[in-house]
Amino acid sequence: PYFMNFAYVYTLCHKEGHTRLGLWRPQYKFLNNIFNWWIGLFYGVLPSSFAYGHSINHHKYNNGPHDVVTTSDKPRDNFRNFLCYLPRWFGYASNITTTIQFYNEGNLQIAMKMVTGSLYFVSFACLVSFLSPTFAFWFVLFPMGENVLLLACVNWCWHAFLSPDDPEDEYVGSITIFDGPINVLHEDYHVVHHQYPGAHWTKHPDLYKKHEKSGEYADHVATMFRNTHAFEMFFLIILREYDQMAEKFYDPKDKLSHDEKKELIKKRLRTCWWGPRANLNIKLQGKEIGNLMDGRPNVDSKKTD
């Protein structure tokens, strides 16, 4: 139950960060942003991290070189690489690297919003520390560490796979999980989330079916698994349990053998988009410098029909 409290709070902070209209009905409008600016404070979430750092930076660069939480510069089936990734996630979770990134891009307005969120959190932490240092440690500082560890694991899993033929392939680069025991508010439809970041969570299954019926998931041999969840996948990845991942891998066309699934999984886990380990010799189509979407709401009505 304690873990699921974290899961729901982080997910609601995530959903809240993707909507300008808020999560609440008009009569409860005063509760808008309550997860990122109040409840999340006790779960290690800094205000502005989801609303701006995640929604604008991560969803603009989609795990590419300028994404501050990118996983695509090192093989993901390596525990040491994950440990080296933790400082990168801490930089994001503490609003440091996103603030610097927005400033370097000349996006001073968003950079200042990041600073505002950071100052708000620091002021809150100082006030609580003054009132009760023990409470501050266990309910403000310690949850920050849990935030860094748990969400780094989740992001490492969600973006562990890359197509060696096209690292921009969204059907491969984000994971989709079916029949998972911890599918909180349909977060397991992560491809859908990157395609429609502002879509309400209840529409995710229908949006998946829309693209599934058109054959896009099958044509791209999308990264899909059954009967698992993000944390199990994280450990299967870093422990290199390729046989178990192959057993859970879902091939819509049912053409891949077990060994072919294993080789596909290995290639996707070890493909590096950029950095000293980059192993791609293809011409990209421009998304490596960001797309035009800022990750905030307003789903295209034509896409959701």
pLDDT digits over 228-282, tens only?
999 999 999 999 999 999 999 999 999 999 999 999 999 999 999 999 999 877 6
User: Please, which residues have CB within 8 angstroms of residue 148's CB and are 6 or more apart in sequence?
Assistant: 44, 86, 89, 90, 93
Q: What percent of the chain has pLDDT over 70?
A: 91
User: What per-residue confidence (pLDDT) applies to 293?
Assistant: 47
Asked whether the beta carbons of 195 and 204 are under 8 A apart, the reply is no
Q: Report whether 10 contacts 54 (CB < 8 A).
A: no
Predicted confidence band of residue 3 (pLDDT cuts 50, 70, 90):
confident
Note whether 22 and 29 are within 8 A (CB). yes
What pLDDT sits at residue 20?
A: 75
**What percent of the chain has a predicted confidence (pLDDT) above 90?**
86
pLDDT tens, position by position, 46-101: 999 999 999 999 999 999 999 999 999 999 999 999 999 999 999 999 999 999 99
Residue 297's pLDDT is: 36
What Rg do the C-alpha atoms of the chain give, in angstroms? 19
Alpha helices in the chain (DSSP H): 2-17, 34-37, 59-61, 79-93, 96-104, 108-131, 133-136, 142-158, 170-173, 190-195, 204-213, 216-219, 230-238, 242-248, 258-270
pLDDT of residue 284: 63
Cβ 296 vs Cβ 20: under 8 Å: yes
What pairs with residue 177 in β-bridges? Answer: 225
The whole-chain average pLDDT of the chain stands at: 91
Residue 2: the pLDDT is: 67
Higher-confidence position of 10 and 25: 10
